[in-house]
Structure 1
Amino acid sequence: MAEAKIITGANAKGGAGKTVSVIMLSSELAHRGKKVLIVDTDSEKNISAWFDRCSENETPISNITLEYAGTANKLKQILSANLDDYDYIFIDTPGRMEKFQEDSFLVTDLTIIPVQACQSEIKGMVTTISNLLQIEEDQGVNIRKLVFNTRVTLQDRHIEEYKTIRGFLAKLKESDVVVDHCNVELMQRNPYRKVYSGYPSLYDLPDANNDSVQKAIEEAVIFTDNVVRYLETGSL
Protein backbone atom coordinates (compact mmCIF):
# COMPACT_ATOMS: atom_id res chain seq x y z
CA MET A 1 0.00 0.00 0.00
CA ALA A 2 1.29 3.48 -0.89
CA GLU A 3 1.72 6.07 1.82
CA ALA A 4 -1.61 7.59 2.87
CA LYS A 5 -2.75 10.94 1.52
CA ILE A 6 -3.40 13.37 4.38
CA ILE A 7 -6.34 15.79 4.14
CA THR A 8 -6.93 18.42 6.82
CA GLY A 9 -10.26 20.19 7.27
CA ALA A 10 -10.00 23.75 8.56
CA ASN A 11 -11.97 26.94 9.11
CA ALA A 12 -11.32 29.42 11.92
CA LYS A 13 -15.08 29.78 12.39
CA GLY A 14 -17.01 26.90 13.94
CA GLY A 15 -20.14 25.77 12.11
CA ALA A 16 -18.80 26.30 8.60
CA GLY A 17 -19.39 22.64 7.72
CA LYS A 18 -15.83 21.41 8.26
CA THR A 19 -16.61 18.31 10.34
CA VAL A 20 -19.58 17.33 8.18
CA SER A 21 -17.42 17.71 5.07
CA VAL A 22 -14.73 15.47 6.55
CA ILE A 23 -17.41 12.89 7.38
CA MET A 24 -18.86 13.13 3.87
CA LEU A 25 -15.50 12.71 2.14
CA SER A 26 -14.23 9.94 4.41
CA SER A 27 -17.49 7.97 4.23
CA GLU A 28 -17.63 8.25 0.44
CA LEU A 29 -14.04 7.01 0.15
CA ALA A 30 -14.79 4.21 2.62
CA HIS A 31 -17.84 3.28 0.53
CA ARG A 32 -15.45 2.88 -2.40
CA GLY A 33 -13.43 0.39 -0.39
CA LYS A 34 -10.66 2.75 0.66
CA LYS A 35 -9.15 2.37 4.11
CA VAL A 36 -9.59 5.64 6.01
CA LEU A 37 -8.30 7.01 9.31
CA ILE A 38 -9.83 10.11 10.92
CA VAL A 39 -7.78 11.95 13.52
CA ASP A 40 -9.94 14.17 15.72
CA THR A 41 -7.90 17.10 17.09
CA ASP A 42 -10.88 19.15 18.29
CA SER A 43 -11.30 19.25 22.08
CA GLU A 44 -15.08 19.31 21.53
CA LYS A 45 -14.75 15.93 19.79
CA ASN A 46 -17.59 16.47 17.35
CA ILE A 47 -16.41 13.83 14.92
CA SER A 48 -15.83 11.40 17.79
CA ALA A 49 -19.43 12.02 18.82
CA TRP A 50 -20.51 10.92 15.33
CA PHE A 51 -18.73 7.60 15.86
CA ASP A 52 -20.46 7.21 19.24
CA ARG A 53 -23.89 7.95 17.77
CA CYS A 54 -23.34 5.40 15.00
CA SER A 55 -22.47 2.81 17.64
CA GLU A 56 -25.54 3.68 19.70
CA ASN A 57 -27.63 3.50 16.53
CA GLU A 58 -26.23 0.03 15.84
CA THR A 59 -24.99 1.23 12.44
CA PRO A 60 -21.26 0.38 12.59
CA ILE A 61 -18.83 2.32 10.43
CA SER A 62 -16.84 0.19 7.98
CA ASN A 63 -13.37 0.98 6.62
CA ILE A 64 -12.97 4.03 8.89
CA THR A 65 -10.89 4.13 12.07
CA LEU A 66 -10.94 6.98 14.59
CA GLU A 67 -8.08 8.32 16.72
CA TYR A 68 -8.01 11.35 19.01
CA ALA A 69 -4.96 13.63 19.27
CA GLY A 70 -5.03 16.44 21.80
CA THR A 71 -1.33 17.31 21.58
CA ALA A 72 1.31 17.76 18.88
CA ASN A 73 3.23 14.69 20.08
CA LYS A 74 0.14 12.50 19.96
CA LEU A 75 -0.68 13.71 16.46
CA LYS A 76 2.86 12.92 15.28
CA GLN A 77 2.71 9.47 16.88
CA ILE A 78 -0.59 8.62 15.20
CA LEU A 79 0.54 9.81 11.78
CA SER A 80 3.92 8.07 11.88
CA ALA A 81 2.34 4.82 13.05
CA ASN A 82 -0.40 4.76 10.41
CA LEU A 83 0.90 6.34 7.19
CA ASP A 84 1.54 2.96 5.58
CA ASP A 85 -1.68 1.32 6.77
CA TYR A 86 -4.32 3.59 5.23
CA ASP A 87 -5.25 5.05 1.86
CA TYR A 88 -6.39 8.36 3.34
CA ILE A 89 -5.94 10.12 6.67
CA PHE A 90 -8.27 12.98 7.57
CA ILE A 91 -7.43 15.47 10.30
CA ASP A 92 -10.44 17.31 11.73
CA THR A 93 -9.40 20.58 13.36
CA PRO A 94 -11.43 22.83 15.69
CA GLY A 95 -13.14 26.07 14.69
CA ARG A 96 -10.10 28.02 15.90
CA MET A 97 -6.39 27.90 15.30
CA GLU A 98 -4.39 26.27 18.10
CA LYS A 99 -0.59 26.26 18.06
CA PHE A 100 -0.11 22.49 18.20
CA GLN A 101 -2.32 22.03 15.17
CA GLU A 102 0.23 23.81 13.01
CA ASP A 103 1.72 20.32 12.63
CA SER A 104 -1.45 19.25 10.80
CA PHE A 105 -0.79 21.76 8.04
CA LEU A 106 2.93 21.00 7.81
CA VAL A 107 2.29 17.35 6.96
CA THR A 108 -0.97 17.55 5.03
CA ASP A 109 -1.22 16.91 1.30
CA LEU A 110 -4.29 19.13 1.09
CA THR A 111 -6.15 21.54 3.37
CA ILE A 112 -9.85 21.81 2.58
CA ILE A 113 -11.61 24.99 3.69
CA PRO A 114 -15.43 25.02 3.66
CA VAL A 115 -17.18 28.37 3.63
CA GLN A 116 -20.78 29.54 3.69
CA ALA A 117 -22.08 32.71 2.09
CA CYS A 118 -22.23 34.80 5.26
CA GLN A 119 -19.86 37.35 6.76
CA SER A 120 -18.76 35.33 9.80
CA GLU A 121 -17.91 32.24 7.70
CA ILE A 122 -16.07 34.34 5.12
CA LYS A 123 -14.09 35.95 7.94
CA GLY A 124 -13.22 32.45 9.18
CA MET A 125 -12.02 31.50 5.69
CA VAL A 126 -9.89 34.66 5.41
CA THR A 127 -8.38 34.05 8.87
CA THR A 128 -7.60 30.43 8.01
CA ILE A 129 -5.91 31.33 4.73
CA SER A 130 -3.94 34.12 6.44
CA ASN A 131 -2.76 31.69 9.12
CA LEU A 132 -1.73 29.14 6.52
CA LEU A 133 0.19 31.76 4.53
CA GLN A 134 2.00 32.76 7.73
CA ILE A 135 2.92 29.13 8.42
CA GLU A 136 4.21 28.84 4.85
CA GLU A 137 6.39 31.91 5.32
CA ASP A 138 7.66 30.86 8.75
CA GLN A 139 8.37 27.24 7.85
CA GLY A 140 9.35 27.57 4.19
CA VAL A 141 6.69 25.14 3.02
CA ASN A 142 3.85 25.10 0.51
CA ILE A 143 0.41 24.16 1.82
CA ARG A 144 -2.12 23.23 -0.86
CA LYS A 145 -5.43 24.92 -0.12
CA LEU A 146 -8.86 24.16 -1.58
CA VAL A 147 -11.90 26.31 -0.74
CA PHE A 148 -15.42 25.04 -1.39
CA ASN A 149 -18.90 26.37 -0.73
CA THR A 150 -21.18 24.59 1.73
CA ARG A 151 -24.85 24.91 2.67
CA VAL A 152 -25.53 26.78 -0.55
CA THR A 153 -29.06 27.72 -1.57
CA LEU A 154 -30.20 29.01 -4.95
CA GLN A 155 -30.86 32.37 -3.29
CA ASP A 156 -27.28 32.52 -1.99
CA ARG A 157 -25.95 32.84 -5.52
CA HIS A 158 -27.51 36.28 -5.84
CA ILE A 159 -26.23 37.84 -2.61
CA GLU A 160 -23.09 39.91 -2.19
CA GLU A 161 -21.50 37.54 0.34
CA TYR A 162 -21.58 34.70 -2.19
CA LYS A 163 -19.80 36.84 -4.79
CA THR A 164 -17.29 38.01 -2.18
CA ILE A 165 -15.81 34.51 -1.80
CA ARG A 166 -14.76 34.15 -5.42
CA GLY A 167 -13.71 37.82 -5.55
CA PHE A 168 -11.41 37.40 -2.56
CA LEU A 169 -9.75 34.32 -4.05
CA ALA A 170 -9.36 36.10 -7.41
CA LYS A 171 -7.51 38.97 -5.70
CA LEU A 172 -5.20 36.47 -4.01
CA LYS A 173 -4.42 34.94 -7.40
CA GLU A 174 -3.56 38.39 -8.75
CA SER A 175 -1.00 38.59 -5.94
CA ASP A 176 0.43 35.18 -6.95
CA VAL A 177 -1.16 33.48 -3.93
CA VAL A 178 -2.71 30.21 -5.09
CA VAL A 179 -5.86 29.10 -3.28
CA ASP A 180 -8.01 26.96 -5.54
CA HIS A 181 -11.80 27.11 -5.47
CA CYS A 182 -13.80 23.95 -6.14
CA ASN A 183 -16.81 24.46 -8.40
CA VAL A 184 -18.76 21.68 -6.70
CA GLU A 185 -21.10 23.14 -4.06
CA LEU A 186 -22.69 21.22 -1.20
CA MET A 187 -26.36 22.17 -1.20
CA GLN A 188 -28.23 19.25 0.38
CA ARG A 189 -27.91 20.21 4.04
CA ASN A 190 -30.51 17.89 5.63
CA PRO A 191 -29.09 14.55 4.39
CA TYR A 192 -25.61 15.45 5.67
CA ARG A 193 -27.15 16.43 9.00
CA LYS A 194 -28.91 13.06 9.19
CA VAL A 195 -25.61 11.23 8.63
CA TYR A 196 -24.04 13.30 11.41
CA SER A 197 -26.88 12.25 13.71
CA GLY A 198 -25.68 8.64 13.67
CA TYR A 199 -25.33 6.95 10.27
CA PRO A 200 -22.09 5.80 8.59
CA SER A 201 -22.86 7.38 5.23
CA LEU A 202 -25.54 8.79 2.96
CA TYR A 203 -26.02 5.29 1.55
CA ASP A 204 -27.03 4.02 5.02
CA LEU A 205 -29.82 6.52 5.66
CA PRO A 206 -33.27 4.93 6.08
CA ASP A 207 -34.59 7.22 3.33
CA ALA A 208 -31.63 6.68 0.99
CA ASN A 209 -33.98 6.54 -2.01
CA ASN A 210 -35.37 9.98 -1.19
CA ASP A 211 -34.72 12.56 -3.89
CA SER A 212 -32.78 14.92 -1.61
CA VAL A 213 -30.55 12.06 -0.39
CA GLN A 214 -29.89 10.96 -3.96
CA LYS A 215 -28.88 14.53 -4.83
CA ALA A 216 -26.62 14.59 -1.77
CA ILE A 217 -25.00 11.31 -2.88
CA GLU A 218 -24.42 12.80 -6.32
CA GLU A 219 -22.81 15.87 -4.71
CA ALA A 220 -20.62 13.69 -2.49
CA VAL A 221 -19.49 11.54 -5.42
CA ILE A 222 -18.60 14.51 -7.63
CA PHE A 223 -16.92 16.42 -4.82
CA THR A 224 -14.87 13.38 -3.78
CA ASP A 225 -13.85 12.82 -7.40
CA ASN A 226 -12.67 16.44 -7.52
CA VAL A 227 -10.64 16.11 -4.32
CA VAL A 228 -9.02 12.84 -5.42
CA ARG A 229 -8.18 14.29 -8.84
CA TYR A 230 -6.77 17.44 -7.23
CA LEU A 231 -4.56 15.34 -4.96
CA GLU A 232 -3.30 13.29 -7.90
CA THR A 233 -2.89 15.98 -10.58
CA GLY A 234 -3.01 19.37 -8.86
CA SER A 235 -5.96 20.47 -10.99
CA LEU A 236 -9.74 20.32 -10.62
Structure 2
Amino acid sequence: MAANRIITIANQKGGVGKTTTAINLATSLAAIGEEVLIIDLDPQGNASTGLGIDRRDRSVSAYDLLAGGASIAETAMASVVPHLSIVPSTMDLLGVEMEIAGREDRVYRLKKALSGEDAARYSYILVDCPPSLNLLTMNAMAAAHSVLVPLQCEFFALEGLSQLLETVSQVRDTVNPGLDIQGIVMTMYDARNNLAQQVVEDVRSHLGDKVYRTLIPRNVRVSEAPSYGKPAILYDLKCAGSQAYLQLASEVIQRERSRKAA
Protein backbone atom coordinates (compact mmCIF):
# COMPACT_ATOMS: atom_id res chain seq x y z
CA MET A 1 0.00 0.00 0.00
CA ALA A 2 1.38 3.43 -0.95
CA ALA A 3 1.18 6.72 0.87
CA ASN A 4 -1.84 8.84 0.11
CA ARG A 5 0.13 11.47 -1.77
CA ILE A 6 3.78 11.66 -2.75
CA ILE A 7 4.81 15.13 -3.94
CA THR A 8 8.28 15.83 -5.32
CA ILE A 9 9.52 19.41 -4.90
CA ALA A 10 11.88 20.07 -7.78
CA ASN A 11 13.64 22.76 -9.77
CA GLN A 12 17.07 22.26 -11.31
CA LYS A 13 17.94 25.86 -10.44
CA GLY A 14 19.35 26.47 -6.97
CA GLY A 15 18.22 29.20 -4.59
CA VAL A 16 14.57 29.23 -5.62
CA GLY A 17 13.12 28.14 -2.27
CA LYS A 18 12.75 24.37 -2.72
CA THR A 19 13.88 23.42 0.76
CA THR A 20 12.10 26.35 2.42
CA THR A 21 8.92 25.30 0.63
CA ALA A 22 9.36 21.64 1.59
CA ILE A 23 9.90 22.46 5.27
CA ASN A 24 7.13 25.02 5.66
CA LEU A 25 4.53 23.28 3.51
CA ALA A 26 5.16 20.06 5.45
CA THR A 27 4.89 21.93 8.77
CA SER A 28 1.64 23.58 7.66
CA LEU A 29 0.16 20.19 6.72
CA ALA A 30 1.34 18.68 10.01
CA ALA A 31 -0.18 21.61 11.93
CA ILE A 32 -3.66 20.53 10.84
CA GLY A 33 -3.03 16.96 11.97
CA GLU A 34 -1.80 15.29 8.79
CA GLU A 35 0.98 12.72 9.22
CA VAL A 36 3.77 14.06 7.00
CA LEU A 37 7.19 12.76 5.95
CA ILE A 38 9.94 14.70 4.20
CA ILE A 39 12.58 12.74 2.32
CA ASP A 40 15.71 14.87 2.03
CA LEU A 41 17.35 13.87 -1.27
CA ASP A 42 19.70 16.86 -1.41
CA PRO A 43 23.26 15.92 -0.30
CA GLN A 44 23.55 19.38 1.30
CA GLY A 45 20.96 18.24 3.83
CA ASN A 46 19.42 21.66 4.40
CA ALA A 47 15.91 20.32 5.01
CA SER A 48 17.31 18.06 7.74
CA THR A 49 19.21 20.94 9.37
CA GLY A 50 16.18 23.22 9.04
CA LEU A 51 14.11 20.72 11.02
CA GLY A 52 16.62 20.51 13.84
CA ILE A 53 18.30 17.19 12.92
CA ASP A 54 21.95 17.45 14.00
CA ARG A 55 24.42 15.99 11.48
CA ARG A 56 25.91 13.79 14.22
CA ASP A 57 22.51 12.12 14.70
CA ARG A 58 22.10 11.02 11.07
CA SER A 59 23.41 7.47 11.48
CA VAL A 60 20.93 6.26 8.87
CA SER A 61 19.82 8.46 6.01
CA ALA A 62 18.35 8.75 2.53
CA TYR A 63 21.58 7.16 1.30
CA ASP A 64 20.67 3.93 3.13
CA LEU A 65 17.16 4.10 1.70
CA LEU A 66 18.45 4.22 -1.90
CA ALA A 67 21.69 2.25 -1.78
CA GLY A 68 21.40 -0.04 1.20
CA GLY A 69 17.80 -1.13 1.00
CA ALA A 70 16.92 0.29 4.43
CA SER A 71 13.21 0.87 5.05
CA ILE A 72 11.29 4.06 5.77
CA ALA A 73 10.77 2.83 9.34
CA GLU A 74 14.54 2.43 9.78
CA THR A 75 15.48 5.83 8.34
CA ALA A 76 12.66 8.24 9.33
CA MET A 77 13.35 10.47 12.35
CA ALA A 78 10.96 12.61 14.38
CA SER A 79 11.47 16.33 13.81
CA VAL A 80 10.87 19.34 16.05
CA VAL A 81 7.35 19.50 14.56
CA PRO A 82 4.63 17.15 15.87
CA HIS A 83 3.29 14.81 13.13
CA LEU A 84 6.29 15.60 10.90
CA SER A 85 9.13 13.11 10.35
CA ILE A 86 12.11 13.29 8.02
CA VAL A 87 14.46 10.86 6.31
CA PRO A 88 17.62 12.96 6.69
CA SER A 89 20.35 13.51 4.15
CA THR A 90 24.11 13.14 4.45
CA MET A 91 26.99 13.83 2.06
CA ASP A 92 26.99 10.07 1.33
CA LEU A 93 24.24 10.83 -1.18
CA LEU A 94 26.90 12.37 -3.43
CA GLY A 95 28.15 8.86 -4.18
CA VAL A 96 24.85 7.06 -4.44
CA GLU A 97 24.52 7.63 -8.20
CA MET A 98 27.78 5.73 -8.82
CA GLU A 99 26.64 2.90 -6.58
CA ILE A 100 23.23 2.34 -8.15
CA ALA A 101 24.00 3.39 -11.74
CA GLY A 102 24.57 -0.19 -12.86
CA ARG A 103 21.39 -1.56 -11.33
CA GLU A 104 18.35 -2.22 -13.50
CA ASP A 105 16.08 -0.64 -10.89
CA ARG A 106 18.28 2.45 -10.44
CA VAL A 107 15.41 4.88 -11.20
CA TYR A 108 12.93 2.99 -9.01
CA ARG A 109 14.92 2.72 -5.76
CA LEU A 110 12.83 5.36 -3.97
CA LYS A 111 9.55 4.08 -5.40
CA LYS A 112 10.37 0.63 -4.06
CA ALA A 113 11.18 2.07 -0.62
CA LEU A 114 7.85 3.91 -0.55
CA SER A 115 5.77 0.91 -1.55
CA GLY A 116 5.90 -0.72 1.89
CA GLU A 117 3.41 -0.47 4.72
CA ASP A 118 5.66 1.74 6.84
CA ALA A 119 5.23 4.53 4.26
CA ALA A 120 1.45 4.14 4.21
CA ARG A 121 1.03 5.76 7.63
CA TYR A 122 1.85 9.16 6.12
CA SER A 123 -0.88 11.07 4.32
CA TYR A 124 1.71 13.29 2.61
CA ILE A 125 5.29 12.48 1.64
CA LEU A 126 7.28 15.45 0.31
CA VAL A 127 10.59 14.78 -1.47
CA ASP A 128 13.11 17.64 -1.43
CA CYS A 129 15.34 17.33 -4.51
CA PRO A 130 18.86 18.58 -5.25
CA PRO A 131 19.20 21.55 -7.64
CA SER A 132 19.90 19.37 -10.68
CA LEU A 133 18.09 16.89 -12.91
CA ASN A 134 20.20 13.91 -11.85
CA LEU A 135 19.48 10.33 -10.80
CA LEU A 136 18.31 11.47 -7.35
CA THR A 137 15.72 13.77 -8.92
CA MET A 138 14.73 11.02 -11.37
CA ASN A 139 14.14 8.67 -8.43
CA ALA A 140 11.97 11.33 -6.79
CA MET A 141 9.91 11.83 -9.95
CA ALA A 142 9.57 8.10 -10.61
CA ALA A 143 8.15 7.64 -7.10
CA ALA A 144 5.85 10.68 -7.00
CA HIS A 145 2.25 11.27 -7.88
CA SER A 146 3.01 14.89 -8.72
CA VAL A 147 5.70 17.57 -8.91
CA LEU A 148 5.47 20.91 -7.11
CA VAL A 149 7.76 23.54 -8.64
CA PRO A 150 8.98 26.55 -6.62
CA LEU A 151 9.76 29.33 -9.09
CA GLN A 152 11.64 32.48 -8.15
CA CYS A 153 10.14 35.75 -9.38
CA GLU A 154 13.05 36.68 -11.61
CA PHE A 155 13.76 37.31 -15.29
CA PHE A 156 15.01 33.83 -16.25
CA ALA A 157 12.28 31.96 -14.38
CA LEU A 158 10.35 30.77 -17.43
CA GLU A 159 13.49 29.62 -19.21
CA GLY A 160 14.39 27.14 -16.48
CA LEU A 161 10.76 26.12 -16.04
CA SER A 162 10.42 24.96 -19.64
CA GLN A 163 13.39 22.62 -19.17
CA LEU A 164 11.89 21.17 -16.00
CA LEU A 165 8.48 20.66 -17.61
CA GLU A 166 10.21 18.86 -20.48
CA THR A 167 11.89 16.53 -17.96
CA VAL A 168 8.55 15.83 -16.27
CA SER A 169 7.12 14.98 -19.69
CA GLN A 170 10.02 12.60 -20.39
CA VAL A 171 9.58 10.90 -17.00
CA ARG A 172 5.87 10.51 -17.73
CA ASP A 173 6.63 8.92 -21.10
CA THR A 174 9.26 6.52 -19.78
CA VAL A 175 9.05 5.61 -16.09
CA ASN A 176 5.96 7.15 -14.44
CA PRO A 177 2.89 7.60 -16.67
CA GLY A 178 0.81 8.97 -13.78
CA LEU A 179 3.14 11.87 -12.94
CA ASP A 180 1.36 15.23 -12.86
CA ILE A 181 2.26 18.83 -12.16
CA GLN A 182 0.87 19.51 -8.68
CA GLY A 183 1.41 23.24 -9.16
CA ILE A 184 3.85 26.11 -9.58
CA VAL A 185 4.48 28.28 -6.53
CA MET A 186 5.99 31.71 -7.06
CA THR A 187 8.65 32.42 -4.41
CA MET A 188 10.70 35.42 -3.23
CA TYR A 189 8.00 37.79 -4.43
CA ASP A 190 8.52 41.50 -3.81
CA ALA A 191 5.38 43.53 -4.49
CA ARG A 192 7.47 46.71 -4.85
CA ASN A 193 9.36 45.21 -7.77
CA ASN A 194 7.69 45.70 -11.16
CA LEU A 195 9.71 42.86 -12.66
CA ALA A 196 8.41 40.41 -10.04
CA GLN A 197 4.83 41.35 -10.90
CA GLN A 198 5.58 40.94 -14.61
CA VAL A 199 7.11 37.48 -14.06
CA VAL A 200 4.02 36.34 -12.13
CA GLU A 201 1.76 37.58 -14.94
CA ASP A 202 3.91 35.85 -17.58
CA VAL A 203 3.96 32.53 -15.75
CA ARG A 204 0.20 32.67 -15.17
CA SER A 205 -0.46 33.50 -18.82
CA HIS A 206 1.56 30.42 -19.85
CA LEU A 207 0.38 27.95 -17.22
CA GLY A 208 -2.97 29.26 -15.98
CA ASP A 209 -4.51 27.27 -13.12
CA LYS A 210 -1.30 25.30 -12.54
CA VAL A 211 0.09 28.40 -10.77
CA TYR A 212 -0.99 28.72 -7.14
CA ARG A 213 -2.77 31.92 -6.15
CA THR A 214 -0.52 32.20 -3.09
CA LEU A 215 2.67 34.23 -3.59
CA ILE A 216 5.54 33.51 -1.18
CA PRO A 217 7.12 36.86 -0.28
CA ARG A 218 10.73 37.68 0.37
CA ASN A 219 10.84 37.58 4.17
CA VAL A 220 13.72 37.99 6.62
CA ARG A 221 12.08 35.84 9.28
CA VAL A 222 11.74 32.93 6.85
CA SER A 223 15.45 33.28 6.00
CA GLU A 224 16.45 33.36 9.68
CA ALA A 225 14.43 30.33 10.78
CA PRO A 226 16.72 27.50 9.51
CA SER A 227 19.67 28.79 11.56
CA TYR A 228 17.54 28.05 14.63
CA GLY A 229 16.67 24.56 13.37
CA LYS A 230 13.01 25.51 13.02
CA PRO A 231 10.50 26.01 10.22
CA ALA A 232 9.43 29.65 9.84
CA ILE A 233 5.97 28.67 11.08
CA LEU A 234 7.44 27.66 14.46
CA TYR A 235 9.96 30.48 14.51
CA ASP A 236 7.48 33.28 13.78
CA LEU A 237 3.93 32.23 12.97
CA LYS A 238 2.70 35.75 12.34
CA CYS A 239 5.33 36.81 9.78
CA ALA A 240 4.22 37.26 6.17
CA GLY A 241 6.20 34.24 4.96
CA SER A 242 4.64 31.86 7.50
CA GLN A 243 1.16 33.09 6.69
CA ALA A 244 1.83 32.58 2.98
CA TYR A 245 2.92 28.97 3.51
CA LEU A 246 -0.22 28.28 5.55
CA GLN A 247 -2.25 29.63 2.62
CA LEU A 248 -0.25 27.46 0.21
CA ALA A 249 -1.01 24.36 2.31
CA SER A 250 -4.69 25.24 2.15
CA GLU A 251 -4.47 25.45 -1.65
CA VAL A 252 -2.62 22.12 -1.86
CA ILE A 253 -5.35 20.45 0.21
CA GLN A 254 -8.10 22.04 -1.90
CA ARG A 255 -6.46 20.73 -5.07
CA GLU A 256 -6.21 17.26 -3.56
CA ARG A 257 -9.92 17.32 -2.67
CA SER A 258 -10.81 18.46 -6.19
CA ARG A 259 -8.63 15.73 -7.70
CA LYS A 260 -10.27 13.02 -5.58
CA ALA A 261 -13.74 14.33 -6.41
CA ALA A 262 -13.03 14.42 -10.17
- Is the pair's TM-score, using the shorter chain for normalization, greater than 0.5? yes
Match of 2:43 in 1: 43
SS at match of 1:186: strand
Matched, 1:201 2:231: yes
Q: 171, 177, 189: which is aligned to 1:152?
A: 189
Shift of residue 189, structure 1, vs aligned partner = 2.2
Match of 2:110 in 1: 75
1:125-140 equivalences in 2 (<5 Å): 125-139=161-175
Q: 249, 253, 261: which is aligned to 1:224?
A: 249
**For residues 167-209 of structure 1, what are the alpha-carbon distances to aligned partners after superposition, in whole Å with 9 as ceiling and x for unaligned?**
3325xxxxxxxx711111111522322322224333432x545
SS at match of 2:188: coil
> Are 2:50 and 2:226, in contact at CA under 8 Å, matched by a contact in 1?
yes
- What is the rounded CA distance, in whole Å, between the counterparts of 1:76 and 1:110 in structure 2? 13
> Are 1:118 and 1:162, in contact at CA under 8 Å, matched by a contact in 2?
no
1:118–1:216 Cα change, 3 Å? closer
1:161–1:3 Cα change, 3 Å? closer
SS at match of 2:115: helix
Match of 2:85 in 1: 65
Match of 1:233 in 2: 258
**For residues 5-33 of structure 1, what are the alpha-carbon distances to aligned partners after superposition, in whole Å with 9 as ceiling and x for unaligned?**
11110001011111100111101111222
1:77–1:138 Cα change, 3 Å? closer
Q: 176, 180, 183: which is aligned to 2:213?
A: 183
SS at match of 2:131: coil
Matched to 2:248, the amino acid is F
**For residues 22-51 of structure 1, what are the alpha-carbon distances to aligned partners after superposition, in whole Å with 9 as ceiling and x for unaligned?**
111101111222221111111222212223
**RMSD of Structure 2 on Structure 1 (CA):** 2.9
Shift of residue 140, structure 1, vs aligned partner = 6.4
Structure 1 runs (4+) deviating above 6 angstroms are: 53-56
Match of 2:34 in 1: 34
**For residues 113-137 of structure 1, what are the alpha-carbon distances to aligned partners after superposition, in whole Å with 9 as ceiling and x for unaligned?**
0111213443332221111112222
1:101–1:201 Cα change, 3 Å? closer
Match of 1:3 in 2: 3
> Structure 2 stretches of 5 or more lacking a match?
57-78, 97-105
Q: 117, 125, 132: which is aligned to 1:89?
A: 125
Give the TM-score normalised by structure 1.
0.79
Q: 92, 104, 123: which is aligned to 2:140?
A: 104
Matched to 2:35, the amino acid is K
1:77–1:3 Cα change, 3 Å? closer
SS at match of 2:213: coil
Taking only the aligned residue pairs, the percentage that are identical comes to 20
- What is the rounded CA distance, in whole Å, between the counterparts of 1:100 and 1:203 in structure 2? 28
Matched to 1:155, the amino acid is R
- What is the rounded CA distance, in whole Å, between the counterparts of 2:85 and 2:157 in structure 1? 29
SS at match of 1:197: helix
Matched to 1:26, the amino acid is A
1:34–1:117 Cα change, 3 Å? same
> Are 1:192 and 1:216, in contact at CA under 8 Å, matched by a contact in 2?
yes
- What is the rounded CA distance, in whole Å, between the counterparts of 1:99 and 1:53 in structure 2? 25
> Are 2:7 and 2:147, in contact at CA under 8 Å, matched by a contact in 1?
yes
